[in-house]
Amino acid sequence: MPQEYNPSEIEVSVQANWQKTEIFKAVEDSAKEKFYCLEMFPYPSGKLHMGHVRNYTIGDVISRYQRMLGKNVMHPIGWDSFGLPAENAAIQNNTAPAAWTDDNIAEMRGQLKRLGFSYDWSRELTTCKPDYYKWEQWFFTKLYERGLVYKKESEVNWDPVDQTVLANEQVIDGRGWRSGALVEKKKIPQWFIKITDYAEELLSGLDDLDGWPDSVKTMQRNWIGKSVGAEVEFEVEGGDNLRVFTTRPDTLMGVTYLAVASDHPLAVQASEASGEIAAFRKECAQSSTAEADMETMEKRGISLGITAKHPMTGDQIPVWCANFVLMTYGTGAVMAVPAHDQRDYEFASKYAIDIKAVIYPADGELDISQAAFTDLGVLKNSAEFDGQTSDQAKVSITAWLEKNNLGEQQINYRLRDWGVSRQRYWGCPIPFIYDADGNPTPATEFPVELPTDVVMDGVGSPIKKMSSFIDTVHPITGEAAQRETDTFDTFFESSWYYARYCCPGLDTDMLDQRANYWLPVDQYVGGIEHAVMHLLYARFFHKLMRDVGLIESDEPFTRLLTQGMVTAETYFRIADDGKRSFYNPKDVEVALDDKGKPAGATLISDGQAVESGGIEKMSKSKNNGVDPQSMIDKYGADTVRLFTMFAAPPEQSLEWNDDAIAGGSRFLRRVWSLFDKHSEALAAVKLKPMIELDGINPAAKALRLITHTIIQRVLFDFERQQFNTVVAAAMELTNAVEKANFAQMGDHGDAVLSEVCHALVKILAPITPHLCEYLWSLYGTEQSLEDSGWISVDESALVKDEITYVVQVNGKLRAKLEVAASATKPEVEALAMADENVVRFLEGLTVRKVIVVPQRLINIVAN
RNA sequence: GCCCGGGUGGCGAAAUUGGUAGACGCAACGGACUUAAAAUCCGUCGGGGGCAACCCCUUGCCGGUUCAAGUCCGGCCCCGGGCACCA
C-alpha cells in the first residue's frame, strides 16, 4: 500500500466500484429483514450546506450499520423542489423557477455522490415533476370524494401595494418585504383538508411511537391540544345566541364579561353602527396572521355595547371584542372569568370590568388583589354548587347546563384543519375546475400540468393571467370552464414522498404492494425544526393513504432522530446607517490572549477590527456558512464525514471549527500509517480467530481487554446512535494499537493484531467507508466489507484479574484500591479501612455506616 | 406570549443513566527531529494552595432530597428551535 493517505484517489475509485456493483440497490426480498432508512429530502437551494452534510451523514452511518447487521437496507434520496426560494431566485436571475431548480439539483446531486452516501439512486424522485405530483392531485380528488376536502374563507397576509399574498416570512415588522406597505389580514376562499377528523388518532397514536423522542411527542400533543370542557350558550337579545367553549365550567358563576374575536359576526354587526368599533376591527386586521405576533401584542378590546344573559343567574353581562380571541379556535368567543384567569384579570383591570371570585383555595385565604387565582379549589358564590370542589363542579355544572338545554360537554382541539391553498406559482396545481357560477368540480385527468415556460414579474403568479392554463372544458358538462390557479402548500409533497420511494417508475398507480414491503420507514432522520408540522402532516397523510386503501400500516416512521443545527461564529461591522454587514469566518483572523481565549478579530483583507456576534445557525444572512465542498476538496469526504460525526452527538447543535476538522484528517492519516506499518503481517495472517487463550501473554491479554471493552461500548453507542463516542472509541483503540508491541506478544501477536485491526475497520466502516473499504482489502478476503457482518464482544476477553475500587469518606474521594477480582466484600472493606489516607480522615470519628457498591466504590460514613 | 430543548475547562465534548467530573479531540505551551519550515513524535494542560504526600474549590444561579447529585425535585437567569404561508 502507498505510504501516503490520498483520500480523493481512494474515494473516487471506491465510489466507482460501488456504482459498478450496484451494491446499494435495494430489492424487495421477503426472506430478509428489511430496513428502510430515510433522511428528510433537501430543498434544492443551490449547493449543499453543512446542515445537509450532517443530516445525510447521520442517515448514511445508520444505513451502513444496519447493512452490516445483515438487513436488507433501502436508503433513497430525492428533491423537495417546489417552493418560494425558486420564485425569488427566478426573479433575481431573470430565469424560470424550473430551470433554476434543475441546475441546483444537478449541482447538489454531484455533491451527494462525492460524499459517498449509500443511496439507491434508481429511486430518486423530484417533486416538481409531473410524474410525482400527478399522484397527489389524483389523491386530493379521492379525498374530496370522501368528504375530507372542503373550501372556506380564510385569512392571508395581504400586501395592499403589491396586491399580493405574502408568506409570514415575507412580513417584516408588520410590513411587506418588497413594498414596505403595512400588511393587512384578508379573507379569501381556500381549500382545506379535515385533519381535525383525525385529531384523536393522531394524538393516541403518539403513545405507541416508542422510537420517537419524548420532546417531539410532547410538542405534537400540545399542538393537537385536546381539552375537555363545556360549550355554554349565552342568550343575546336581538341576535344569535353566543356559544363559548370553556375548560373551566366550574367558574361559570364568575363570568363578568364575554369576548369575541374581531371578525366574529357579532363584532361585524356592531361595527356597522359604531365607527369606533369599526376602527378597532380595522386595527386588529392590520397585523400578520402569525400566532407569535398575535400573542405578543398588547391585549386590547372594545365594548360592543350589547349584553348577553348569563345562563345561570340571568344577569345581563357585557360583550366585548378583544384582539386576543382567535376566530379559528373554539367558537371565536370566550367567557371571561377575571378572578380565575390571568389574562381575563389583566383585561378586566385595564377596562374596569367586575371581578367576581367563585373559587377558593381548599385551605388558606383567597388573595386576588395582585393576580388571578387560577388553581382548582372549592366553589363559593355559586348558588347550589357552593362547597363543591372544582372537579365535582365541572361535572355538575355541565350536567345542569345539559338539563336546561344551555350547553353540553365538549371536547375541543387546538389543531385546525390544514389549509393547503397557496396563491403562488411554483407549486403543484390544485386539480379543480370551476363552472361559470364558480362551483368547483374535481379534475379527471392527471397531471394538471404546471406550465414551466414562464416569466416571473415579482408580483403574483404568472399562471393567474395565463389563459392557456386557465381556460378549459368542464369535465362533466363539456362547457367552457376555468381551472383553479392556486397551488398546494409544499408540505403536501413532503407528506408522502417516503411512500413513493418504495415504488419507483410506477405509472399506473400512486403506490403498489412494494410500499407494504418497505413501510413503515424504520429510521427517519431530520432537523428538530420539523418536530411538529412536517411530521404531523406526514402522519396524517399516512392514515389518509391507509384509509384510501393504498397501504396497511398506521404510522409512517418507527424511529425518529432529530438532529441539531450546525452553527458557527459570526463577525460583523456596523455601518454609519446602523446596518450590520457580516463577514465570513474564513476571511477573519482571530487573535488569542495568553490563555488561548479569543481577544479581538480582524478582517484579513484590510487588517481592521470586526466585532464578534456570537455563535449562530449557519445562514446566508449572517454570512457564517462554511462550504462543505471546500472541505471535501481539502480533506476528502471521509474526513468531513468523520468530523461531523465526532464534533457533537447527533441531537445537539454542532459548532463548526476549521481546526478541529484538521484533527479528523490527522486521525485518519494515523489509521492509514498503522495499517501501512502492519500491512504485511495482516496480509499473511488474514482473519485468524483467537482461539488459544490459555497461557496467553499478559501484553496480548491487556490489548484484548482494551479491544473488547471498546467493542462493547461501540455496540452500545451505535444502538443509541451516539456516534461522537464511537469515533472517540476508535481513536482510543488506535492509540492502544500504536503503543502495543506485537513482537513481544509471542505466538499470539499476529492474531491479536489481526483482531484489533479488524475491529477498528468495522467500527469506522459506517463513518469513513472509503478508507475502510481500502483497509479491508488488505485482509485479502473475498467478501465485500458491506456483506462481511458485524463485530461481537468476546466475553472471555473482558475478565479482569484486578478491580479498582474508589474509597470515599463521607462522600469525598480519599483513596483508590487495586483489589483482586476475587476479593470478598469484607476483604475489600478491610483494605479500605486500612488505607493510610482513609485512617487519617477517620481520626476522631465514629464509623456509622459503610456503603459498598460491588466492583466500584466504598463510601465510609462517619461523624 | 405559549410549547419543546440546552447551559460542564480556553474550545467541541465524555461521564456505563444516582457512584472517581473532564474520556476522546481541538487550541495553547515546552521538548525531540530538521539548515529551516511543514509533517511527525514525546510531555504539560479546570482554578487555587503545598517542597512533597496531599488538600480546598469547581458542571448557569438559589434552595432541597440522598451515605453520595452534572445526573433527581422546587424556584430563577440566559441561549436556541417551533408557533399553522420559509422549508
Query: Tens digits of per-residue pLDDT, A246-290?
Result: 999 999 999 999 999 998 999 999 999 999 999 999 988 888 888
Residue A615: what pLDDT? 66
Does A852 have pLDDT greater than 60? yes
What's the rounded Cα separation, in Å, for the pair A293 and A474?
Answer: 43
Residue A595 CB: number of other CB atoms within 10 A?
Answer: 6
Q: Which protein residue's Cα is closest to nucleotide B21 at C1'?
A: A813
Cβ density class A370-391: b for 16+ within 10 Å, e for less: eebbbebbbbeebeebeebebe
Check whether residue A83 has its CB closer than 7 Å to nucleic acid strand B.
yes
Residue A292: what pLDDT? 87
Confidence category of residue A691, pLDDT binned at 50, 70, 90: low
Does A823 have pLDDT greater than 90? no
Residue A600: what pLDDT? 67
> Dihedral of CA A386/A389/A393/A394: which sign?
positive
Query: Tens digits of per-residue pLDDT, A697-745?
Result: 888 889 999 999 999 999 999 999 999 999 999 999 999 999 998 888 8
Do A23 and A63 touch, CB atoms closer than 8 A? no
Residue A597: what pLDDT? 54
Does A688 have pLDDT greater than 80? no
Chain A 333-392 contacts with nucleic strand B (CB below 7 A): none
> Dihedral of CA A166/A169/A174/A179: which sign?
negative
| CA to C1' distance (Å), from A625 to B27 | 22
| CA to C1' distance (Å), from A214 to B62 | 29
Residue A591: what pLDDT? 66
Does A574 have pLDDT greater than 90? no
Task: Report the share of chain A in percent with pLDDT over 70.
Answer: 96
Nucleotide of closest approach to A841 (CA, C1'): B55
Chain A 579-638 contacts with nucleic strand B (CB below 7 A): 592, 594-598, 616-617
What's the rounded Cα separation, in Å, for the pair A489 and A508?
Answer: 25
Check whether residue A725 has its CB closer than 7 Å to nucleic acid strand B.
yes
> C-alpha distances in angstroms, A677 versus A11, A753, A785?
21, 11, 21
Amino acid identity for residue A798 in this structure: L
Nucleotide of closest approach to A670 (CA, C1'): B40
What's the rounded Cα separation, in Å, for the pair A311 and A370?
Answer: 29
The lowest-confidence range among A55-59, A615-619, A650-654 is: A615-619
Max CA distance (Å), chain A:
105
Query: Tens digits of per-residue pLDDT, A528-554?
Result: 999 999 999 999 999 999 999 999 999
Paired sense of beta strands A566-574 and A609-617, if any: antiparallel
Nucleotide of closest approach to A728 (CA, C1'): B24
Q: How many CA atoms does the CB half-sphere of A69 hold within 13 Å?
A: 15
Residue A760 CB: number of other CB atoms within 10 A?
Answer: 24
Does A577 have pLDDT greater than 80? no
Residue A331: what pLDDT? 87
| CA to C1' distance (Å), from A815 to B66 | 22
End-to-end CA distance of chain A: 66
Confidence category of residue A579, pLDDT binned at 50, 70, 90: low
| CA to C1' distance (Å), from A259 to B77 | 36
Confidence category of residue A621, pLDDT binned at 50, 70, 90: low
Confidence category of residue A844, pLDDT binned at 50, 70, 90: confident
Residue A238: what pLDDT? 77
Task: Report the share of chain A in percent with pLDDT over 90.
Answer: 69
| CA to C1' distance (Å), from A35 to B80 | 33
Residue A314: what pLDDT? 94
Positions of chain B reached by protein Cβ under 7 A: 1-6, 10-15, 17, 19-21, 23-28, 39-42, 54-56, 67-69, 80-87
**Smallest Cα–Cα separation from A154: which of A345, A354, A374, A418?**
A418
Confidence category of residue A686, pLDDT binned at 50, 70, 90: confident
Paired sense of beta strands A654-655 and A566-574, if any: parallel
Alpha helices, DSSP H, located in A29-77: 50-68
Residue A196: what pLDDT? 97
Nucleotide of closest approach to A858 (CA, C1'): B19
Peptide bond into A475 cis (omega under 30): no
Q: Which protein residue's Cα is closest to nucleotide B27 at C1'?
A: A596
Chain A 641-680 contacts with nucleic strand B (CB below 7 A): 646-649, 652-655, 657, 659-660, 662-664, 666-667, 669-670
Chain A 518-547 contacts with nucleic strand B (CB below 7 A): 528-534
What's the rounded Cα separation, in Å, for the pair A124 and A79?
Answer: 8
| CA to C1' distance (Å), from A609 to B56 | 42
Give the residue-averaged pLDDT of A165-169. 91
| CA to C1' distance (Å), from A728 to B22 | 14
Nucleotide of closest approach to A329 (CA, C1'): B84
| CA to C1' distance (Å), from A141 to B84 | 23
Beta bridge partners, A242, equal A234
The pTM assigned to this predicted structure is: 0.94
Confidence category of residue A381, pLDDT binned at 50, 70, 90: very high
Chain A 166-225 contacts with nucleic strand B (CB below 7 A): 166-170, 190, 214-216, 218-219, 222-223, 225
Residue A542: what pLDDT? 98
| CA to C1' distance (Å), from A626 to B80 | 20
What's the rounded Cα separation, in Å, for the pair A227 and A115?
Answer: 48
> C-alpha distances in angstroms, A557 versus A146, A206, A536, A755?
25, 11, 11, 37
Chain A 807-846 contacts with nucleic strand B (CB below 7 A): 808, 810-814, 816, 837, 841
φ and ψ at residue A728, rounded to 5 degrees: -60, -40
Per-residue cell: A22: 450496484
Check whether residue A414 has its CB closer than 7 Å to nucleic acid strand B.
yes
Share the mean pLDDT of chain A: 91
Confidence category of residue A824, pLDDT binned at 50, 70, 90: confident
| CA to C1' distance (Å), from A54 to B10 | 26
Cβ density class A686-715: b for 16+ within 10 Å, e for less: eeeebeeeeebeebbbebbbbbbbbbbbbb
Check whether residue A290 has its CB closer than 7 Å to nucleic acid strand B.
yes
What's the rounded Cα separation, in Å, for the pair A586 and A804?
Answer: 48
What's the rounded Cα separation, in Å, for the pair A15 and A761?
Answer: 18
> Dihedral of CA A553/A502/A493/A209: which sign?
positive
Residue A222: what pLDDT? 95
Higher confidence at residue A113 or residue A627?
Answer: A113
Per-residue cell: A112: 451527494
Residue A800: what pLDDT? 87
Per-residue cell: A653: 447543535
Nucleotide of closest approach to A155 (CA, C1'): B85
Give the residue-averaged pLDDT of A328-353. 91
| CA to C1' distance (Å), from A674 to B25 | 19
> C-alpha distances in angstroms, A475 versus A147, A445, A507, A670?
20, 9, 22, 70
| CA to C1' distance (Å), from A738 to B25 | 17
Question: Cβ contacts of residue A578 below 8 Å, gap of 6+?
Answer: none
Amino acid identity for residue A44 in this structure: P
Treating both helix axes as pointing N-terminal to C-terminal, what angle do A749-764 and A658-685 enclose, rounded to 10 degrees?
140
Check whether residue A796 has its CB closer than 7 Å to nucleic acid strand B.
no
What's the rounded Cα separation, in Å, for the pair A457 and A96?
Answer: 11
Does A122 have pLDDT greater than 60? yes
What's the rounded Cα separation, in Å, for the pair A655 and A626?
Answer: 11
Check whether residue A226 has its CB closer than 7 Å to nucleic acid strand B.
no
| CA to C1' distance (Å), from A432 to B29 | 72
Do A573 and A611 touch, CB atoms closer than 8 A? yes
Chain A 425-454 contacts with nucleic strand B (CB below 7 A): none
Nucleotide of closest approach to A664 (CA, C1'): B25
Cβ density class A111-137: b for 16+ within 10 Å, e for less: bbebbbbbbbeebbbbbbebebbbbbb
φ and ψ at residue A319, rounded to 5 degrees: -110, 125
Residue A320: what pLDDT? 95
Nucleotide of closest approach to A836 (CA, C1'): B53
> C-alpha distances in angstroms, A244 versus A232, A233, A405?
5, 7, 14
| 3 state DSSP class of A202 | helix
Paired sense of beta strands A34-39 and A521-527, if any: parallel
Residue A751: what pLDDT? 87
Query: Tens digits of per-residue pLDDT, A607-620?
Result: 787 776 666 677 76
Residue A623: what pLDDT? 75
Paired sense of beta strands A802-809 and A847-853, if any: unpaired
Chain A 492-521 contacts with nucleic strand B (CB below 7 A): 494
φ and ψ at residue A590, rounded to 5 degrees: -105, 125
